[in-house]
Amino acid sequence: MSTAVAGIDHEGRTVTTDVVTERPLTLFLNAREIVTMMTIGDHPDLLAIGYLLNQGMLKADDVITGIDHNDDIETIVVRTERQTNYEEKLKKKVQTSGCAQGTVFGDLMDELDGIRLNPDARLKTSWLYALTRKINTEPSLYLKAGAIHGCVLCRDDKPLVYMEDVGRHNAIDKVAGYMFRHHVAPDDKIFYTTGRLTSEMVIKCVKMRIPILVSRSGFTAWGVELAKKSGLTLVGRARGKRFVCLAGEERVVFDADTKAIDGDERTSARKGSNADMD
C-alpha cells in the first residue's frame, strides 16, 4: 500500500520517502457496472459492500450470495439474492467534495428524513481525549506515508475498527462494510475521521445510524446544517483538550479534568511523518 520513491529535499539532498499507492477498482452490482473508485487496494470486499450500502443500493436485509474480486483486471462484483436495477438512480450522480472524486446519488438526502439516531447516546469528554490520544499514536499508513485519510469506529473510549484510504469516503465505506458483515450495532458507537466534516461524511454517518461523528479537522456549513437536521452530534477540531461541537451538543458529557490533558496532541509519532492531511 506504499512504495519507496527517491527524490531530493529542500536542501538538495537525496532522500527516499514512502508514498501511498493507489489503483482503480471497478465495482459491479450483479450485472451492472456502478462506479470506478481510486483506492489503496486493501479490504476490497468491505469497500464494495459499504459503498453500496451508503448509496442505498444494498439494503440492510439483503442477502449477498457472492463477492468476486479479480485483482488482475481491477474489478469486484457483488452478487445479491435480490434482483437490482439502478439505471435511473445512476443518472442522478452528484460529485462531492470528497478526495478521489467521491460521489453520492441524488436521492440520498431524501432518505435522511426517515432516520432517527439514538437520542440516549453520549460522548464523554474523557472518552474523547482518550480516543484522540490512542488513534493519533496508532501505527498506520498515515504515519508512514501521509496523503491518506483514516476512519475509526469506536465505542466509549475504545477504537474498534481502523480503516484508511486515499479518500475519506472510501475509508468510511470500509467501516460500513465491516459493520454489515459482522452485524455490528450502530446505536452506541462513535465515528472518528481524520478528514473534514463535509455533507458527504454526515450523510454516510447518518445512513449508518451512528449518532456521534468526530474529527480532528474542521467543518463545512452544509455538513453542520445536515447534522443539525438529522440529530447527529458533530465534533470537530478535536486535538489535545480542545474541540468544537456544532450540532447535537446535548450528547456531550463534560466529565474530564482538562488541567490533566496536554494542550496539543500532535504526537511525536506524527512529527516523524511527512503527512499532509486536511
- Domains along the chain? 23-106 (3.10.20.10), 123-271 (3.40.140.10)
Q: pLDDT tens, 234-266?
A: 999 999 889 999 999 999 999 998 877 765 544
pLDDT at 164 over 60: yes
Q: Are 94 and 104 in contact (CB under 8 A)?
A: yes
Q: What is the mean pLDDT of residues 93-98?
A: 50
Taking residue 42's Cβ as centre, other Cβ atoms within 10 Å add up to 13
Q: Say what the pTM is.
A: 0.83
Among 11-25, 76-90, 131-145, 199-213, which stretch is predicted with the lowest mean pLDDT?
Answer: 131-145
Greater confidence, 186 or 240? 186
Q: How confident is the model at residue 87 (pLDDT cuts 50, 70, 90)?
A: low
